Structure 1
Amino acid sequence: MMPAYFFAHGAPSLVLEQHAYTDFLKSFANTVKKPKAIVLFSAHWEQTTQTVSRAETYDTIYDFSGFQDELYRITYPAHGQRKLSDDVQALLAKNGIPSVFDDKRGLDHGAWAVLKLLYPDAGEIPVIAMSVNRHLTNEQQYQIGSALAELRERDVLIIGSGGTVHNLRRLNWRAEGVDAWAAEFEGWLQSKLEAWDTAALFDYRNQAPYAQDAVPTNEHFIPLLIAMGAGSRNRQAKLLHSSYQYGNLSLRCWQFD
Protein backbone atom coordinates (compact mmCIF):
# COMPACT_ATOMS: atom_id res chain seq x y z
CA MET A 1 0.00 0.00 0.00
CA MET A 2 1.30 3.43 -0.93
CA PRO A 3 2.57 5.30 2.16
CA ALA A 4 1.38 8.81 2.98
CA TYR A 5 3.94 11.59 3.41
CA PHE A 6 4.48 14.94 5.02
CA PHE A 7 6.92 17.26 3.26
CA ALA A 8 8.12 20.60 4.59
CA HIS A 9 7.96 23.11 1.75
CA GLY A 10 10.34 25.63 3.31
CA ALA A 11 10.65 29.03 1.65
CA PRO A 12 9.25 29.58 -1.88
CA SER A 13 12.83 29.62 -3.15
CA LEU A 14 13.24 25.95 -2.15
CA VAL A 15 12.67 24.90 -5.74
CA LEU A 16 15.78 26.85 -6.81
CA GLU A 17 18.04 25.77 -3.98
CA GLN A 18 20.74 23.10 -3.79
CA HIS A 19 21.27 21.39 -0.46
CA ALA A 20 20.64 18.09 1.32
CA TYR A 21 16.88 18.49 1.46
CA THR A 22 16.44 19.39 -2.21
CA ASP A 23 18.72 16.47 -3.11
CA PHE A 24 16.44 14.23 -1.03
CA LEU A 25 13.31 15.53 -2.76
CA LYS A 26 14.82 15.11 -6.22
CA SER A 27 15.72 11.49 -5.51
CA PHE A 28 12.42 10.61 -3.80
CA ALA A 29 10.67 9.32 -6.94
CA ASN A 30 13.40 6.71 -7.36
CA THR A 31 12.63 5.22 -3.94
CA VAL A 32 8.86 4.66 -4.19
CA LYS A 33 6.41 3.11 -6.60
CA LYS A 34 5.13 5.62 -9.15
CA PRO A 35 1.73 6.83 -7.93
CA LYS A 36 -1.31 6.82 -10.17
CA ALA A 37 -2.38 10.17 -8.72
CA ILE A 38 -1.49 12.62 -5.95
CA VAL A 39 -3.82 14.14 -3.35
CA LEU A 40 -2.02 17.10 -1.78
CA PHE A 41 -3.02 19.26 1.21
CA SER A 42 -1.23 22.63 1.17
CA ALA A 43 -0.86 24.96 4.15
CA HIS A 44 -1.29 27.85 1.73
CA TRP A 45 -4.85 27.02 0.73
CA GLU A 46 -7.11 27.81 3.67
CA GLN A 47 -10.87 27.37 3.57
CA THR A 48 -13.47 27.02 6.32
CA THR A 49 -15.10 24.11 4.48
CA GLN A 50 -12.91 21.31 3.15
CA THR A 51 -12.38 22.12 -0.50
CA VAL A 52 -11.45 19.59 -3.16
CA SER A 53 -9.99 20.77 -6.45
CA ARG A 54 -11.82 19.67 -9.57
CA ALA A 55 -9.62 21.62 -11.98
CA GLU A 56 -8.73 20.09 -15.31
CA THR A 57 -5.43 21.99 -15.58
CA TYR A 58 -3.80 24.15 -12.91
CA ASP A 59 -2.38 27.62 -13.23
CA THR A 60 0.74 28.35 -11.19
CA ILE A 61 0.08 30.76 -8.29
CA TYR A 62 2.94 33.00 -7.15
CA ASP A 63 1.66 33.67 -3.64
CA PHE A 64 4.81 35.44 -2.41
CA SER A 65 6.86 38.55 -3.15
CA GLY A 66 10.45 39.73 -3.02
CA PHE A 67 12.11 36.57 -4.31
CA GLN A 68 14.33 35.90 -7.34
CA ASP A 69 12.91 36.83 -10.74
CA GLU A 70 13.61 33.28 -11.90
CA LEU A 71 11.06 31.98 -9.40
CA TYR A 72 8.22 33.84 -11.12
CA ARG A 73 9.05 32.16 -14.43
CA ILE A 74 8.63 28.63 -13.08
CA THR A 75 5.38 26.92 -14.04
CA TYR A 76 3.87 23.62 -13.03
CA PRO A 77 0.84 23.01 -15.28
CA ALA A 78 -0.35 19.85 -13.59
CA HIS A 79 -3.72 18.40 -14.51
CA GLY A 80 -6.48 17.02 -12.33
CA GLN A 81 -8.64 13.94 -12.52
CA ARG A 82 -12.30 14.69 -11.93
CA LYS A 83 -13.26 11.09 -11.22
CA LEU A 84 -10.75 11.03 -8.37
CA SER A 85 -12.04 14.38 -7.09
CA ASP A 86 -15.50 12.83 -6.98
CA ASP A 87 -14.13 9.80 -5.13
CA VAL A 88 -12.37 12.04 -2.60
CA GLN A 89 -15.58 13.91 -1.89
CA ALA A 90 -17.50 10.64 -1.56
CA LEU A 91 -15.00 9.29 0.98
CA LEU A 92 -15.17 12.50 3.00
CA ALA A 93 -18.98 12.36 2.97
CA LYS A 94 -18.93 8.69 4.03
CA ASN A 95 -17.02 9.81 7.11
CA GLY A 96 -19.29 12.77 7.88
CA ILE A 97 -16.92 15.43 6.54
CA PRO A 98 -18.63 18.07 4.37
CA SER A 99 -16.73 19.35 1.34
CA VAL A 100 -17.14 21.50 -1.76
CA PHE A 101 -15.46 21.54 -5.17
CA ASP A 102 -13.29 24.26 -6.71
CA ASP A 103 -12.59 24.06 -10.45
CA LYS A 104 -10.69 27.34 -10.88
CA ARG A 105 -7.92 27.75 -8.32
CA GLY A 106 -4.35 26.99 -9.39
CA LEU A 107 -1.53 25.45 -7.36
CA ASP A 108 0.10 27.63 -4.69
CA HIS A 109 3.78 27.34 -3.86
CA GLY A 110 3.08 24.95 -1.00
CA ALA A 111 2.00 22.52 -3.70
CA TRP A 112 3.99 23.25 -6.85
CA ALA A 113 7.39 23.95 -5.26
CA VAL A 114 7.39 20.49 -3.67
CA LEU A 115 5.87 18.72 -6.68
CA LYS A 116 8.37 20.35 -9.05
CA LEU A 117 11.19 18.71 -7.09
CA LEU A 118 9.45 15.36 -6.59
CA TYR A 119 8.00 14.94 -10.10
CA PRO A 120 9.40 17.59 -12.48
CA ASP A 121 7.15 16.56 -15.37
CA ALA A 122 3.89 18.28 -14.46
CA GLY A 123 1.82 16.24 -16.90
CA GLU A 124 3.03 12.90 -15.60
CA ILE A 125 0.72 12.35 -12.62
CA PRO A 126 -2.78 13.79 -11.94
CA VAL A 127 -2.99 16.05 -8.89
CA ILE A 128 -5.94 16.78 -6.61
CA ALA A 129 -5.28 19.90 -4.50
CA MET A 130 -6.90 20.04 -1.06
CA SER A 131 -7.46 22.93 1.35
CA VAL A 132 -6.84 23.08 5.12
CA ASN A 133 -8.99 24.58 7.84
CA ARG A 134 -7.24 26.05 10.88
CA HIS A 135 -10.51 26.16 12.86
CA LEU A 136 -10.90 22.39 13.21
CA THR A 137 -9.59 20.44 16.17
CA ASN A 138 -6.39 18.47 15.76
CA GLU A 139 -8.41 15.26 16.01
CA GLN A 140 -10.62 16.42 13.14
CA GLN A 141 -7.53 17.10 11.01
CA TYR A 142 -6.37 13.55 11.67
CA GLN A 143 -9.80 12.21 10.77
CA ILE A 144 -9.70 13.93 7.36
CA GLY A 145 -6.55 11.98 6.53
CA SER A 146 -8.01 8.77 7.93
CA ALA A 147 -11.12 9.21 5.76
CA LEU A 148 -8.94 9.11 2.64
CA ALA A 149 -6.65 6.29 3.74
CA GLU A 150 -8.19 3.71 1.41
CA LEU A 151 -6.95 5.73 -1.59
CA ARG A 152 -3.51 4.40 -0.73
CA GLU A 153 -4.70 0.94 -1.80
CA ARG A 154 -5.25 2.43 -5.27
CA ASP A 155 -1.66 3.74 -5.44
CA VAL A 156 -2.75 7.31 -4.73
CA LEU A 157 -0.01 9.30 -3.00
CA ILE A 158 -1.38 11.42 -0.14
CA ILE A 159 0.86 14.38 0.72
CA GLY A 160 0.67 17.00 3.44
CA SER A 161 2.80 20.05 2.62
CA GLY A 162 3.60 22.49 5.41
CA GLY A 163 6.19 22.94 8.15
CA THR A 164 6.58 21.57 11.67
CA VAL A 165 8.68 24.52 12.90
CA HIS A 166 7.51 27.52 10.91
CA ASN A 167 7.89 30.93 12.56
CA LEU A 168 8.96 33.58 10.07
CA ARG A 169 9.55 36.15 12.82
CA ARG A 170 12.18 33.95 14.47
CA LEU A 171 14.22 33.23 11.32
CA ASN A 172 17.90 34.14 11.36
CA TRP A 173 18.95 34.46 7.73
CA ARG A 174 22.66 34.17 8.63
CA ALA A 175 22.46 31.26 11.04
CA GLU A 176 24.46 28.13 10.30
CA GLY A 177 23.28 25.90 13.14
CA VAL A 178 19.88 25.09 14.62
CA ASP A 179 18.26 26.99 17.48
CA ALA A 180 18.00 24.86 20.62
CA TRP A 181 14.29 25.58 21.11
CA ALA A 182 13.45 24.38 17.58
CA ALA A 183 15.45 21.17 18.05
CA GLU A 184 13.74 20.51 21.40
CA PHE A 185 10.29 20.91 19.88
CA GLU A 186 11.18 18.61 16.98
CA GLY A 187 12.61 16.05 19.40
CA TRP A 188 9.35 15.98 21.33
CA LEU A 189 7.36 15.74 18.12
CA GLN A 190 9.49 12.90 16.79
CA SER A 191 9.05 10.86 19.95
CA LYS A 192 5.25 11.26 19.88
CA LEU A 193 4.95 10.50 16.17
CA GLU A 194 7.08 7.36 16.40
CA ALA A 195 5.03 6.20 19.42
CA TRP A 196 1.81 7.14 17.57
CA ASP A 197 0.76 9.05 20.70
CA THR A 198 -2.25 10.83 19.25
CA ALA A 199 -3.45 12.03 22.67
CA ALA A 200 -0.23 13.99 23.17
CA LEU A 201 -0.08 15.18 19.57
CA PHE A 202 -3.64 16.49 19.60
CA ASP A 203 -2.70 18.44 22.76
CA TYR A 204 0.71 19.57 21.48
CA ARG A 205 0.06 23.22 22.28
CA ASN A 206 -0.06 22.39 25.98
CA GLN A 207 2.42 19.53 26.11
CA ALA A 208 5.20 20.25 23.60
CA PRO A 209 8.14 22.43 24.62
CA TYR A 210 8.25 25.77 22.76
CA ALA A 211 5.04 24.95 20.91
CA GLN A 212 4.06 28.60 20.58
CA ASP A 213 7.46 29.46 19.10
CA ALA A 214 7.44 26.52 16.70
CA VAL A 215 3.79 26.77 15.68
CA PRO A 216 2.61 30.37 16.14
CA THR A 217 -0.29 29.63 13.79
CA ASN A 218 -1.38 26.12 12.95
CA GLU A 219 -1.97 26.12 9.18
CA HIS A 220 1.52 24.75 8.45
CA PHE A 221 1.21 22.05 11.13
CA ILE A 222 -2.18 20.79 9.94
CA PRO A 223 -0.84 18.89 6.89
CA LEU A 224 1.30 16.75 9.22
CA LEU A 225 -1.77 15.62 11.17
CA ILE A 226 -3.68 14.90 7.96
CA ALA A 227 -0.83 12.83 6.51
CA MET A 228 -0.53 10.99 9.81
CA GLY A 229 -4.26 10.28 9.75
CA ALA A 230 -3.87 8.77 6.30
CA GLY A 231 -1.48 6.27 7.90
CA SER A 232 -3.81 5.42 10.76
CA ARG A 233 -4.32 1.78 9.73
CA ASN A 234 -0.79 0.56 10.39
CA ARG A 235 0.32 3.44 12.63
CA GLN A 236 3.97 3.48 11.66
CA ALA A 237 5.82 6.79 11.38
CA LYS A 238 9.33 7.09 9.96
CA LEU A 239 11.47 10.21 9.71
CA LEU A 240 13.12 10.17 6.28
CA HIS A 241 14.92 13.52 6.33
CA SER A 242 15.68 16.27 8.83
CA SER A 243 17.54 19.53 8.34
CA TYR A 244 17.08 23.24 9.04
CA GLN A 245 17.51 26.60 7.38
CA TYR A 246 17.89 30.04 8.94
CA GLY A 247 18.27 28.74 12.47
CA ASN A 248 14.87 27.15 12.91
CA LEU A 249 12.98 26.65 9.62
CA SER A 250 12.45 22.90 9.74
CA LEU A 251 12.88 20.81 6.58
CA ARG A 252 11.52 17.40 7.44
CA CYS A 253 9.90 14.52 5.63
CA TRP A 254 7.76 11.97 7.46
CA GLN A 255 6.52 8.71 6.01
CA PHE A 256 3.35 7.13 7.39
CA ASP A 257 2.82 3.47 6.60
Structure 2
Amino acid sequence: MMGAHWESPGDTVEVSMNPNPKMLPVGSVKDARYLPYKVQPDIEGGEHVMKLLKAAGFNVKAAPTFDWIHDTFLIIIRMFPHCIPLPTTIVSMNARYESHFHLKIGAALRPLRYEDTLIIGSGGSVHNLYRNHWADMMLYRDNFAQPVPPGTWALEFRQAVEDNITNNTGPELRRAITRMMKHPRYKDAHGTDDHWMASLFAVGAAGGKDDQGPNTMIAECWELVNMCNTQYQLGSWDAYKPM
Protein backbone atom coordinates (compact mmCIF):
# COMPACT_ATOMS: atom_id res chain seq x y z
CA MET A 1 0.00 0.00 0.00
CA MET A 2 1.15 3.52 -0.78
CA GLY A 3 -0.38 6.54 0.92
CA ALA A 4 0.03 10.28 0.46
CA HIS A 5 1.78 11.50 3.62
CA TRP A 6 5.04 9.56 3.82
CA GLU A 7 7.88 10.53 1.49
CA SER A 8 11.57 9.61 1.48
CA PRO A 9 14.42 11.99 0.55
CA GLY A 10 16.96 11.77 -2.27
CA ASP A 11 16.39 8.80 -4.54
CA THR A 12 15.22 6.49 -1.75
CA VAL A 13 12.06 4.49 -1.17
CA GLU A 14 11.25 3.12 2.27
CA VAL A 15 9.22 0.12 3.38
CA SER A 16 7.42 -0.06 6.73
CA MET A 17 9.13 -2.64 8.95
CA ASN A 18 7.92 -1.60 12.41
CA PRO A 19 6.47 -4.72 14.11
CA ASN A 20 4.44 -2.62 16.59
CA PRO A 21 3.41 0.60 14.86
CA LYS A 22 1.24 3.25 16.45
CA MET A 23 -1.63 4.94 14.64
CA LEU A 24 -0.81 8.64 14.48
CA PRO A 25 -3.60 11.05 15.58
CA VAL A 26 -6.19 12.13 13.01
CA GLY A 27 -7.07 15.82 13.08
CA SER A 28 -10.65 16.62 14.21
CA VAL A 29 -11.52 12.91 14.52
CA LYS A 30 -12.34 11.35 17.90
CA ASP A 31 -9.90 8.64 18.98
CA ALA A 32 -12.76 6.17 19.47
CA ARG A 33 -13.35 6.14 15.71
CA TYR A 34 -10.10 4.32 15.02
CA LEU A 35 -8.04 3.43 18.11
CA PRO A 36 -10.01 0.22 18.90
CA TYR A 37 -8.87 -1.16 15.54
CA LYS A 38 -5.63 -3.14 15.63
CA VAL A 39 -3.32 -2.84 12.65
CA GLN A 40 -1.22 -5.80 11.58
CA PRO A 41 2.10 -5.02 9.88
CA ASP A 42 3.36 -7.66 7.47
CA ILE A 43 7.08 -7.89 8.18
CA GLU A 44 7.60 -10.97 6.02
CA GLY A 45 5.72 -9.27 3.20
CA GLY A 46 7.85 -6.18 3.70
CA GLU A 47 11.00 -8.20 3.14
CA HIS A 48 9.51 -9.55 -0.09
CA VAL A 49 8.56 -6.04 -1.22
CA MET A 50 12.09 -4.80 -0.57
CA LYS A 51 13.56 -7.65 -2.63
CA LEU A 52 11.29 -6.83 -5.57
CA LEU A 53 12.16 -3.14 -5.42
CA LYS A 54 15.89 -3.81 -5.14
CA ALA A 55 15.68 -6.18 -8.11
CA ALA A 56 14.06 -3.36 -10.09
CA GLY A 57 16.94 -1.01 -9.27
CA PHE A 58 15.40 1.09 -6.50
CA ASN A 59 17.41 2.42 -3.57
CA VAL A 60 15.13 0.88 -0.96
CA LYS A 61 15.50 1.00 2.80
CA ALA A 62 13.67 -0.50 5.77
CA ALA A 63 11.80 1.86 8.12
CA PRO A 64 11.84 0.02 11.49
CA THR A 65 10.26 2.89 13.48
CA PHE A 66 7.60 4.08 11.04
CA ASP A 67 4.17 4.71 12.60
CA TRP A 68 1.05 4.46 10.47
CA ILE A 69 -0.68 7.58 9.16
CA HIS A 70 -4.39 8.11 8.50
CA ASP A 71 -4.00 7.75 4.73
CA THR A 72 -3.48 4.02 5.25
CA PHE A 73 -5.15 2.71 8.39
CA LEU A 74 -8.42 4.63 7.89
CA ILE A 75 -8.75 3.13 4.41
CA ILE A 76 -8.24 -0.40 5.71
CA ILE A 77 -10.68 0.13 8.59
CA ARG A 78 -13.44 1.22 6.22
CA MET A 79 -12.74 -1.42 3.58
CA PHE A 80 -12.57 -4.30 6.04
CA PRO A 81 -14.44 -3.19 9.19
CA HIS A 82 -15.45 -6.66 10.40
CA CYS A 83 -12.39 -8.67 9.42
CA ILE A 84 -9.34 -9.82 11.27
CA PRO A 85 -6.82 -7.03 10.53
CA LEU A 86 -5.14 -7.67 7.21
CA PRO A 87 -1.34 -8.06 7.15
CA THR A 88 -0.21 -4.85 5.47
CA THR A 89 3.03 -3.44 4.10
CA ILE A 90 3.33 0.29 3.41
CA VAL A 91 5.66 1.75 0.79
CA SER A 92 6.74 5.39 0.91
CA MET A 93 6.60 7.92 -1.87
CA ASN A 94 9.76 9.64 -3.03
CA ALA A 95 9.96 13.34 -2.17
CA ARG A 96 10.89 14.35 -5.72
CA TYR A 97 7.36 13.38 -6.80
CA GLU A 98 8.45 12.24 -10.26
CA SER A 99 5.56 10.60 -12.08
CA HIS A 100 7.37 7.80 -13.90
CA PHE A 101 9.38 6.93 -10.79
CA HIS A 102 6.21 6.15 -8.83
CA LEU A 103 4.64 4.35 -11.74
CA LYS A 104 7.72 2.10 -11.86
CA ILE A 105 7.40 1.35 -8.14
CA GLY A 106 3.95 -0.05 -8.84
CA ALA A 107 5.20 -1.95 -11.88
CA ALA A 108 7.99 -3.52 -9.81
CA LEU A 109 5.41 -4.80 -7.31
CA ARG A 110 2.97 -5.98 -9.97
CA PRO A 111 3.91 -9.69 -9.46
CA LEU A 112 2.35 -9.50 -5.99
CA ARG A 113 -1.08 -9.39 -7.64
CA TYR A 114 -0.53 -13.05 -8.52
CA GLU A 115 0.49 -13.90 -4.96
CA ASP A 116 -2.84 -13.30 -3.18
CA THR A 117 -1.95 -9.67 -2.51
CA LEU A 118 -4.24 -6.65 -2.86
CA ILE A 119 -2.33 -3.52 -3.93
CA ILE A 120 -3.84 -0.20 -2.79
CA GLY A 121 -2.97 3.37 -3.68
CA SER A 122 -4.45 5.91 -1.23
CA GLY A 123 -4.37 9.46 -2.57
CA GLY A 124 -7.20 11.60 -3.92
CA SER A 125 -8.95 12.61 -7.13
CA VAL A 126 -9.04 16.26 -6.06
CA HIS A 127 -6.96 17.32 -3.06
CA ASN A 128 -5.98 20.96 -2.67
CA LEU A 129 -6.10 22.05 0.97
CA TYR A 130 -5.63 25.67 -0.08
CA ARG A 131 -8.96 25.68 -1.93
CA ASN A 132 -11.13 23.80 0.56
CA HIS A 133 -13.89 25.37 2.65
CA TRP A 134 -12.99 24.89 6.32
CA ALA A 135 -15.73 26.75 8.23
CA ASP A 136 -18.11 23.82 8.85
CA MET A 137 -15.21 21.57 9.80
CA MET A 138 -13.86 24.05 12.33
CA LEU A 139 -17.24 25.02 13.79
CA TYR A 140 -19.13 21.71 13.71
CA ARG A 141 -16.59 19.01 12.80
CA ASP A 142 -18.68 18.42 9.69
CA ASN A 143 -16.31 17.70 6.83
CA PHE A 144 -19.16 16.53 4.57
CA ALA A 145 -21.13 19.80 4.69
CA GLN A 146 -21.74 21.03 1.16
CA PRO A 147 -23.22 24.54 1.48
CA VAL A 148 -22.22 25.30 -2.12
CA PRO A 149 -21.37 23.07 -5.10
CA PRO A 150 -17.74 22.13 -5.79
CA GLY A 151 -15.80 24.53 -7.96
CA THR A 152 -15.88 24.06 -11.72
CA TRP A 153 -12.13 23.41 -11.70
CA ALA A 154 -12.63 20.54 -9.23
CA LEU A 155 -15.51 19.00 -11.17
CA GLU A 156 -13.58 19.18 -14.44
CA PHE A 157 -10.50 17.45 -13.07
CA ARG A 158 -12.53 14.84 -11.20
CA GLN A 159 -14.36 13.96 -14.42
CA ALA A 160 -11.08 13.73 -16.32
CA VAL A 161 -9.77 11.28 -13.72
CA GLU A 162 -12.83 9.04 -14.08
CA ASP A 163 -12.74 9.18 -17.88
CA ASN A 164 -9.06 8.27 -18.04
CA ILE A 165 -9.30 5.41 -15.56
CA THR A 166 -12.50 3.81 -16.83
CA ASN A 167 -11.76 4.23 -20.55
CA ASN A 168 -8.16 2.98 -20.58
CA THR A 169 -6.48 -0.31 -19.73
CA GLY A 170 -2.97 -1.74 -19.75
CA PRO A 171 -0.10 0.55 -20.82
CA GLU A 172 -2.64 3.09 -22.13
CA LEU A 173 -3.90 3.49 -18.56
CA ARG A 174 -0.38 4.19 -17.33
CA ARG A 175 0.15 6.82 -20.00
CA ALA A 176 -3.23 8.45 -19.37
CA ILE A 177 -2.72 8.86 -15.62
CA THR A 178 0.84 10.10 -16.10
CA ARG A 179 -0.43 12.73 -18.57
CA MET A 180 -2.93 13.97 -15.99
CA MET A 181 -0.12 15.93 -14.35
CA LYS A 182 -0.16 18.11 -17.49
CA HIS A 183 -3.92 18.64 -17.38
CA PRO A 184 -4.79 22.37 -17.35
CA ARG A 185 -6.69 21.89 -14.08
CA TYR A 186 -4.08 19.71 -12.36
CA LYS A 187 -2.49 22.43 -10.24
CA ASP A 188 -5.93 23.68 -9.23
CA ALA A 189 -6.93 20.18 -8.18
CA HIS A 190 -3.60 19.30 -6.56
CA GLY A 191 -1.82 22.19 -4.89
CA THR A 192 0.96 19.72 -4.08
CA ASP A 193 1.86 16.50 -5.89
CA ASP A 194 1.79 14.15 -2.90
CA HIS A 195 -1.83 13.03 -3.26
CA TRP A 196 -1.40 12.06 -6.93
CA MET A 197 1.58 9.72 -6.54
CA ALA A 198 -0.50 6.83 -5.17
CA SER A 199 -2.61 6.87 -8.35
CA LEU A 200 0.54 6.45 -10.42
CA PHE A 201 1.67 3.66 -8.10
CA ALA A 202 -1.66 1.86 -8.56
CA VAL A 203 -1.76 2.07 -12.35
CA GLY A 204 1.86 0.97 -12.44
CA ALA A 205 0.77 -2.21 -10.68
CA ALA A 206 -2.37 -2.68 -12.79
CA GLY A 207 -1.24 -1.36 -16.18
CA GLY A 208 0.63 -4.26 -17.70
CA LYS A 209 -0.02 -5.61 -21.18
CA ASP A 210 -2.14 -8.40 -19.70
CA ASP A 211 -4.43 -6.00 -17.83
CA GLN A 212 -7.61 -5.55 -19.82
CA GLY A 213 -9.85 -4.19 -17.07
CA PRO A 214 -12.60 -3.47 -16.54
CA ASN A 215 -11.64 -0.47 -14.40
CA THR A 216 -14.64 0.55 -12.35
CA MET A 217 -15.58 3.47 -10.11
CA ILE A 218 -16.89 1.89 -6.90
CA ALA A 219 -17.58 4.77 -4.50
CA GLU A 220 -17.08 8.49 -4.08
CA CYS A 221 -17.50 11.29 -1.57
CA TRP A 222 -16.88 15.03 -1.51
CA GLU A 223 -15.71 16.80 1.63
CA LEU A 224 -14.74 20.35 2.55
CA VAL A 225 -16.70 21.37 -0.58
CA ASN A 226 -13.83 20.94 -3.06
CA MET A 227 -12.06 17.72 -2.04
CA CYS A 228 -13.04 14.56 -3.91
CA ASN A 229 -12.25 11.01 -2.79
CA THR A 230 -13.00 8.32 -5.35
CA GLN A 231 -12.51 4.57 -5.07
CA TYR A 232 -11.62 2.65 -8.23
CA GLN A 233 -11.18 -1.06 -8.76
CA LEU A 234 -8.61 -1.84 -11.44
CA GLY A 235 -9.44 -5.22 -12.93
CA SER A 236 -12.08 -7.76 -11.98
CA TRP A 237 -12.38 -10.21 -9.12
CA ASP A 238 -13.99 -12.61 -11.62
CA ALA A 239 -10.55 -13.29 -13.08
CA TYR A 240 -9.00 -13.89 -9.64
CA LYS A 241 -7.76 -17.43 -9.04
CA PRO A 242 -6.61 -18.06 -5.45
CA MET A 243 -3.26 -19.74 -5.02
Aligned 1:91-130 pairs, distance under 5 A: 91-120=52-81, 123-130=84-91
Q: Distance in 1 between the 2:82 and 2:76 partners?
A: 9
**Does the 8 A contact of 2:206 with 2:234 survive in 1?**
yes
The C-alpha deviation readout for 1:127-173, integer Å capped at 9, x for no partner, is 11211114142111111101101111111111111112101121125
**Does the 8 A contact of 2:173 with 2:207 survive in 1?**
no
Q: Distance in 2 between the 1:73 and 1:215 partners?
A: 27
Could you tell me which of 14, 23, 29 is aligned with 1:51?
Answer: 14
Q: Which runs of 5+ in 2 are unaligned?
A: 137-144, 236-243
Q: Distance in 1 between the 2:92 and 2:212 partners?
A: 24
1:205 aligns with 2:205: no
**Does the 8 A contact of 2:21 with 2:66 survive in 1?**
yes
Report the count of equivalent residues: 215
Q: Distance in 1 between the 2:195 and 2:181 partners?
A: 14
**Does the 8 A contact of 1:243 with 1:250 survive in 2?**
yes
Instruction: Using the aligned pairs only, state the percent identity.
Output: 24
Q: Which runs of 5+ in 1 are unaligned?
A: 1-39
TM-align CA RMSD: 2.1
Q: Distance in 1 between the 2:39 and 2:164 partners?
A: 35
- TM (norm. structure 1) is 0.76
- Mean CA deviation greater in 148-157 or 167-176: 167-176
- Displacement of 1:98 in angstroms is 1.8
**Does the 8 A contact of 1:59 with 1:77 survive in 2?**
no
Structure possessing the higher relative contact order (Cα contacts under 8 Å, 6 or more residues apart): 1
1:189 aligns with 2:165: no
CA distance 1:69–1:248, shift in 2 (3 Å): same
- Displacement of 1:119 in angstroms is 2.1
**Does the 8 A contact of 2:130 with 2:191 survive in 1?**
no
CA distance 1:72–1:46, shift in 2 (3 Å): farther
CA distance 1:157–1:73, shift in 2 (3 Å): closer
Quote the residue 1:28 is aligned against.
none
CA distance 1:81–1:69, shift in 2 (3 Å): closer
